[in-house]
Structure 1
């Protein structure tokens, strides 16, 4: 009978250590998966353009600003909204696009609409 007690005592004394090791392994696996899921900046740019095109049916032409934020990524994407002849009269839209840390689009809004041939107005009254 004493052998049975010793065996169950030694098993129960190893459980906390085994569960601690298992927890550390799970934590390492989660951290590795998080690093693996985080896309590179170029992947984020490609994903943002593709997702915006799919949602709006419009053609993204360029990314005019790009930054990593606390919540993920923020981009400004220039989009062809209405093609005209001559091309300089085509209507463009500038869209603010927000993505989560994994590069999934979480929101967008048009912030400006302009003719392709028009330069931004100068600031400062000069």
Structure 2
């Protein structure tokens, strides 16, 4: 039975939190390629006071067709206050 996208996202978020011990932030993207499903998730690396100084990390996690983790890696860090330029 094929797993559906919302289930993949939830599995990716839950497993990444368990593997890293970090708090889940936002889901940034999901796509499928020859390696499997890639889910990009923002995680809270470090809480700060004020909250705008929290350190956030973007992670990519690859899942197989059943939602099992194949690989994950941290792509970048940023402060919550830092805005990103959006390419159109």
Question: Do both proteins adopt the same fold according to a TM-score greater than 0.5, normalized to the shorter chain?
Answer: yes
Q: Residues of 1 paired with 2:71 and 2:47: CA distance?
A: 25
Distance, in Å, in 2 between the alignment partners of 1:120 and 1:62 is 14
Is the Cα contact below 8 Å between 1:39 and 1:102 reproduced in 2?
yes
CA distance in 1, matches of 2:65, 2:35: 7
Q: Please tell me whether the aligned partners of residues 72 and 102 of structure 1 are also in contact (alpha carbons under 8 angstroms).
A: no
C-alpha RMSD of the superposition: 1.5
Runs of 4+ in structure 1 displaced over 3 angstroms? Answer: none
Structure holding more strand per residue: 2
Number of residues paired by the alignment? 87
Q: Which has the higher contact order (CA 8 A, sep 6+)?
A: 2
Q: Are the equivalent residues in 2 in contact too, given 1:83–1:90 (CA < 8 A)?
A: yes
Q: 1:102 to 1:82 in 2, by over 3 A?
A: same
Once the 2 structures are TM-superposed, how far is the Cα of residue 121 of structure 1 from its aligned partner? 5.3
Whether 2:24 is the aligned partner of 1:64: answer: no
TM-score normalised per structure 2:
0.91
In structure 2, what is the equivalent of residue 31 of structure 1?
Answer: none
1:47 aligns with 2:11: yes
Alpha-carbon shift at residue 70 of structure 1 (Å): 2.5
For structure 2, the residue ranges without an aligned partner over 5 or more in a row are none
**Structure whose CA Rg is larger:** 1
Structure 1 stretches lacking a partner, 5+ long: 1-35
Q: How does 1:95-110 map to 2 (within 5 A)?
A: 95-110=59-74
